[in-house]
Amino acid sequence: MQWITERHYNAEWALVSQMEVLARQFDEMEDEYLRERKGDLEQVVERVLKALQGKPSELPHAAPLEEAGLILVAHDLSPADMLQFKDSVFAGFVTDVGGKTSHTAIVARSMDIPAVVGARTASTLIAQDDWVIIDGDAGVIVVDPSIDVLSQYRDRQQIALLEREQLQQLKHTLTVTKDGQKVELLANIERPEDAAAAIAAGAVGVGLFRSEFLFMGRAGKLPSEDEQYQAYRDAVLGMKGLPVTIRTVDAGADKPLDASTVKDAAHLNPALGLRAIRWCLAEPDMFRTQLRAILRAAVHGQIHLLIPMLTSGSEIEQSLKQLDLARAELDQRGLAHGPLKLGAMIEIPAAALALPVFLKHFDFLSLGTNDLIQYTLAIDRADESVAHLYDPLHPAVLHLIAGTIRQCNEAGKSVSVCGEMAGDVAMTKLLLGMGLRVFSMHPSQILNVKREVLASHMGQLSTWARKILRSDNPQSLLNK
């Protein structure tokens, strides 16, 4: 501006002169990465110059920038970051690290945020102002697409939108197989307000409310009993009389609240550390605060309490003792509380292999296949370098799942799957064939899975599932 007013440069000349000054500063930078950012500066200047000269941009902008949206490319994002993402200027994101079932990826899917995680060097290869397509379903990123590729993806986007609209017609259809077997499709939620999406998708309840999201991003300040009570009550009221399964806080591993609240944040193997119920039993006051809040919210509707990551009878007994204490504390304070159905997550092989003790103490069980796969195969679900080994169809995983479903069915106890497998249409028939009748998933997946259930015939599926369970290579039989 100064050069225009004082030296009477025209705008283009002033811009280029100023760029040259800045470019020399970039050239002198020691850090190679920063030095290379000169290219970003030149790109921006080039575009401003074109705008000043009234020339059209050469970028393949089949849509205005605002319509296409901004993509955040970062080394890593935490699950807590996802909670703010929806209100941000970004339409999607790419991260270098993370696995498909890391919590960041799960929450992104649940919030319908297009994302590709575990893209390794994306944050160094993609430059500011690059045009980027992200195909979250396929895990593909296209940088600087040609106009043809761009229009192909636009067509795909349109088709996906139309498919979604068509699926809406199934919203009020009862979920039954062709031979009349009833199936329950429940929703996974992270925040009380997600109940609206669950209802909109026709869920018959919430099968997993990941309560830890109420605890995140609070700089070490845990939510009070009243704050939690209000959140759980809102979820229950939001579900309009349908049951809500609230999982007690599952922090740790790839879901640290922050360094001050999770003591083992720097632990070498956080997935094997003080996570979920282990942390709760180590911090009984914090745990009972949550239990009291849940018990109080149960006055407003049906709540099922779900405890994550249990492995042994002793942990079960300690957890139930804390629940009794929480009830007694409310009685002492003269505060009303409601009844709870009690459930445990089966997400560690030890739990699946010692099922009778779980069947003895709980009303229902829920298979957390995300962790069951991680712990059975010793694959960190958040580590992209071993993501190719993360295999839901590994025979060991399938045996643990099938065994759990069979024993629950024989004992007359309800069993669900609430891991990502439940929302994967490629798995629906196999899980049905194993005897599963309750699936819990992101609201956005419910109608897809319903369509799969409506097209299924149980008689044929049980025989087929048994064959898959006997196979060394289940993947090869999945589509037969």
Q: Which residue has tokens 């980027």? A: 132
CA atoms within 13 A on the CB side of 83: 19
210 binds, among ligand PEP, Mg ion, none (CB under 5 to 8 A by kind): ligand PEP
404 binds, among Mg ion, ligand PEP, none (CB under 5 to 8 A by kind): none
Determine whether 103 is an active site residue.
Answer: yes
Q: Which of 81, 371, 380, 384 binds Mg ion (CB under 5 A)?
A: 371
Question: Is residue 368 at the binding interface for Mg ion, with CB under 5 A as the rule?
Answer: yes
Closer to ligand PEP at the Cβ: 101 or 261? 101
Determine whether 280 is an active site residue.
Answer: no
Closer to ligand PEP at the Cβ: 368 or 433? 368
Q: 401-420 mask for Mg ion (x: CB under 5 A)?
A: --------------------
Cβ atoms within 10 A of the Cβ of 55, count?
A: 10
Of 8, 103, 172, 399, which is the active-site residue? Answer: 103
99 contacts 390 by C-beta, under 8 angstroms: yes
Q: How far is the CB of 84 from ligand PEP (least distance, A)?
A: 19
Distances (CA, A) of 191 to 110, 213, 448: 11, 7, 22
Q: For residue 370, what are the contacts with CB-CB under 8 A and spacing of at least 6?
A: 101, 106, 347, 381, 419, 420
Q: Which of 218, 136, 238, 100 is nearest to 249 (CA)?
A: 218
Q: How far apart are CA 307 and CA 309, in angstroms?
A: 7
| Residue ranges in contact with ligand PEP by CB under 6 A | 106, 208, 210, 250, 347, 368-371, 418-419
Q: How far is the CB of 308 from Mg ion (least distance, A)?
A: 6
Q: How far is the CB of 151 from ligand PEP (least distance, A)?
A: 37
Of 280, 304, 337, 418, which is the active-site residue? Answer: 418
418 binds, among ligand PEP, Mg ion, none (CB under 5 to 8 A by kind): ligand PEP
CA angle 406, 393, 253 (to 5 degrees): 90
Question: Is residue 79 at the binding interface for Mg ion, with CB under 5 A as the rule?
Answer: no
Q: Which residue has tokens 């991260």? A: 95
204 binds, among Mg ion, ligand PEP, none (CB under 5 to 8 A by kind): none
Q: How far is the CB of 190 from Mg ion (least distance, A)?
A: 13
Closer to Mg ion at the Cβ: 194 or 347? 347
325 contacts 288 by C-beta, under 8 angstroms: yes
369 binds, among Mg ion, ligand PEP, none (CB under 5 to 8 A by kind): ligand PEP
Q: How far is the CB of 106 from ligand PEP (least distance, A)?
A: 6
Distances (CA, A) of 380 to 111, 169, 345: 23, 39, 19
Closer to ligand PEP at the Cβ: 177 or 319? 319
CA angle 431, 245, 166 (to 5 degrees): 55
**In the window 336-355, what residues touch Mg ion (CB under 5 A)?**
347
Closer to Mg ion at the Cβ: 96 or 371? 371
304 contacts 269 by C-beta, under 8 angstroms: no
Closer to Mg ion at the Cβ: 295 or 387? 387
Q: How far is the CB of 196 from ligand PEP (least distance, A)?
A: 21
Q: How far apart are CA 420 and CA 357, in angstroms?
A: 26
Q: How far apart are CA 377 and CA 394, in angstroms?
A: 8
Residues with catalytic roles: 103, 418
Q: Which residues bind Mg ion (CB under 5 A)?
A: 347, 368, 371
